[in-house]
Amino acid sequence: MSDFNLSAFSDAIADFAATAAPATASLATHHGRTASAFHWRDGYFVTAEEVVEAGEEIELKLASGGRMKAELVGRDPSTGIALLKPAGAADVPTLAKADAVRPGNLAITVGNSEGAALAVFGTVGEVGPAWRSMRGGTIDRRINLAVNAGGRFEGGPVLDATGGLIGMLLFGPRRRALVMPYETIERAVSTLREKGHVARGYLGAGLHPIRNGDAHGAMVMSLDDSGPAKAAGLYIGDIIVSWNGEAVHGPRDLIRRLGPDSAGASVTLGVVRGGEQRDVAVTIGEKPLS
């Protein structure tokens, strides 16, 4: 007979969720639904970048039943993180950082819906190395979840089996649940508190995918008059096929390289023009905020 106590296990999951619940809040999104947020530290909350819009009124509904207006301090589309500052002091706990997780480890996702606590559990499905998002953000670890969490959990905390904070729940392609790791949130929050935004690389060119035989690239379809691409001598019709000697397979591949660390960098683009390949030196700009 197994010594495993299912009732005790069930209570332990519920206890971890209940401990984290006071740190969470819900907010109405511009999509007409609710999402979650949680207290990071120093009175600041984090949530998913896609659920908030600049200039809109934001109200956090706390697990205690209180409601607080909040200001959007800044947002980082490259990591999917938004930083909120409530108008008053919020007496809510801060979640401690989790230790490293492995595939198969228990993961508890906590959320908030109109002030009511939400919780589901599953497992960590994948843990991998750092990766770059489709908008060029550097994500410290790849953590995918095997968990059935709906949209109300988006922006909420993901905990390990000790109640430690692994990171924030986001949804990737095909609504696959993934975690924005603690380290990535910490880095983004630091920049957002200081500047209100995270710089993104800017080429100033409209691009279209192209394939010519076995060659893939990004064709320049338009140029911003004051953009780095035009200043460097790129022309409409040029096909960008490499970035510092590494193959560029299309616009998405190029956009991934235009992350925060690319702004101000000098790069060499391999370009096909009129059937001839040449190198063009470009100083990547910083993407305008508007």
pLDDT given for residue 46 in this prediction: 98
Please state whether beta strands 67-76 and 116-128 pair in parallel, antiparallel, or not at all (unpaired).
unpaired
- The pLDDT tens digits for 161-204 are 999 999 999 998 888 999 999 999 999 999 999 999 888 899 99
| Mean pLDDT on 266-278 | 93
pLDDT tops 80 at residue 159: yes
In a domain, 274, yes or no: yes
In a domain, 54, yes or no: no
Task: Tell me how far apart the alpha carbons of residues 107 and 241 are, in angstroms, rounded to a whole number.
Answer: 41
In a domain, 264, yes or no: yes
In a domain, 7, yes or no: no
Q: What percent of the chain has pLDDT over 70?
A: 97
Q: What pLDDT band is residue 32 in, cutting at 50, 70 and 90? A: confident
In a domain, 236, yes or no: yes
pLDDT given for residue 172 in this prediction: 87
- The pLDDT tens digits for 104-127 are 999 999 999 998 999 999 999 999
> What is the extent of the structural domain holding 218?
201-286
Q: What percent of the chain has pLDDT over 90?
A: 74
- The pLDDT tens digits for 80-103 are 999 999 987 678 999 999 999 999
| Mean pLDDT on 193-219 | 88
In a domain, 105, yes or no: no
- The pLDDT tens digits for 52-86 are 987 789 999 998 888 999 999 999 999 999 999 99
**For the chain, what is the domain count?**
1
pLDDT tops 60 at residue 1: no
In a domain, 266, yes or no: yes
CATH of the domain at 282: 2.30.42.10
pLDDT given for residue 175 in this prediction: 85
Q: Do residues 115 and 181 touch, judged by C-beta distance below 8 A?
A: no
Q: Give the CA-trace dihedral at 153, 159, 160, 163, to 10 degrees.
A: -140
In a domain, 222, yes or no: yes
User: Where does the chain have alpha helices with state H?
Assistant: 6-20, 182-195, 228-232, 251-257
pTM summary value: 0.85
Average pLDDT taken over every residue of the chain? 92
Task: Tell me how far apart the alpha carbons of residues 47 and 216 are, in angstroms, rounded to a whole number.
Answer: 37
